[in-house]
Amino acid sequence: MKYIDPHIHMVSRTTDDYQRMAQAGCIAVTEPAFWAGFDRSSAQGFYDYFRQLTEYEPKRAAQFGIQHFTWLCINPKEADDPGFAREVVSMIPDFLNSKGELCGGNVLGIGEIGLNKNTKNELIILEEQIALAETFNQLVLVHTPHLEDKLKGTRLIMDALSASTIDPGRILIDHVEEHTVSEVLDRGFWAGMTLYPDTKVTPQRAADIIEMYGDERIWMNSAGDWGCSDPLAVPKARLEMRRRGHAVTTVDKVTFDNPQQFLSQSPNFSLS
Amino acid sequence: MNRQTNPQTKQQIVDTYFMEHRAKLVDIAAYLDRVDRGHGDDAADFRDVAFRRAVEILLDGQPQRAGRILNLLSDHSTKLPQSADGMKGALGAVSLTDGGAA
Answer for the pair A46, A74: CB distance below 8 angstroms, yes or no. yes
Q: Is A272 part of a structural domain of the chain?
A: no
φ, ψ (nearest 5 deg) of residue A70: -145, 170
Query: How does pLDDT run across A36-48, given as a tens digit for each residue?
Result: 999 999 999 999 9
Residue A144 DSSP code:
P
Check CB contact under 8 Å for A145 and B17. Answer: no
pLDDT tens for B39-57 read: 987 678 999 999 999 999 9
B31 falls within a domain: yes
Mean pLDDT along residues A178-204: 96
Nearest neighbour of B71 by CB, restricted to A77, A146, A179: A179
What is the rounded distance in angstroms from the CA atom of residue A255 to the CA atom of residue A25?
Answer: 11
Examine the pLDDT at A102 and tell me if it is beyond 90. no
- Please tell me the predicted confidence (pLDDT) of residue B2: 45
Q: Which domain holds residue B48?
A: 43-74
The crossing angle, in degrees rounded to 10, of helices A150-162 and A120-135 is 40
Q: Do the domain assignments include residue A270?
A: no
Between residues B95 and A28, the one the model is more confident about: A28
Within a domain: B1: no
Give the domain extent around A114: 3-263
Same domain as B70, residue B47 = yes
Asked if residue B98 belongs to a domain, the reply is: no
Domain-located, residue A175: yes
Residue B57 inside a domain? The answer is yes
Disruptive mutation site among B80, B82, B87, B91 for chain A (greatest number of A CBs within 10 Å) = B80
Compute how many other C-beta atoms are within 10 angstroms of the C-beta atom of residue A196.
19
Q: What is the mean pLDDT of residues A108-137?
A: 97
Q: Give the end-to-end CA distance of chain B in Å, rounded to a whole number.
A: 36
DSSP-derived 3-state class of residue B79: coil
Residue B10 has pLDDT above 50, yes or no: yes
Domain count within chain A: 1
Q: Which of A74, A77, A123, A147 to mutate to test the interface with B (most CBs of B within 10 A)?
A: A147
> Is residue A225's pLDDT more than 80?
yes
CB contact under 8 A, A208 and B66: yes
Q: Smallest Cα–Cα separation from A173: which of A199, A195, A192?
A: A192
Whether residue B28 is contained in a domain is answered as yes
pLDDT of amino acid A98: 55
Cα A11 to Cα A116, A129, A223, distances in angstroms: 21, 23, 12
Tell me if A256 sits within 8 A of A250, measured CB to CB: no
* Cβ neighbours of A147 in B, within 8 Å: 73, 90-93
Summarised one tens digit per residue, pLDDT across range A234-249 is: 999 999 999 999 999 9
Please give the average per-residue pLDDT across A179-197, as a whole number: 97
Q: Which of A221, A214, A218, A213 is nearest to A254 (CA)?
A: A218
**Residue A85 is part of a domain; what is its CATH number?**
3.20.20.140
Confidence (pLDDT) at B101? 79
**How many separate domains does chain B show?**
2
Residue A99 has pLDDT above 80, yes or no: no
Confirm if A111 and A142 have CB atoms less than 8 A apart: yes
- What is the Cα–Cα distance from A32 to A48, expressed in whole angstroms? 15
Which chain B residues in 29-48 lie under 8 Å from chain A, judged by CB atoms?
none
Q: Do B55 and B35 reside in the same domain of the chain?
A: no
The Cα–Cα gap between A182 and A177 comes to 9
Confirm whether B87 is domain-assigned: no
A269 within some domain: no
Selection from A87, A137, A148 nearest residue A108 by Cα: A137
Partners of residue B3 in chain A, C-beta under 8 Å:
211-214
Residue B92 lies inside a defined structural domain of this protein: no
**Sequence letter at residue A57:** E
Q: What are phi and psi of A200, to 5 degrees?
A: 60, -135
Among candidate residues A65, A75, A69, A71, the one with its CA nearest the CA of residue A5: A69
Region of residue A10 (left: phi > 0; alpha: psi -120 to 50; beta: else): alpha
In a domain, A34, yes or no: yes
Please name the member of A150, A210, A213 whose beta carbon is closest to the beta carbon of B74.
A150
Residue B49 maps to a domain:
yes
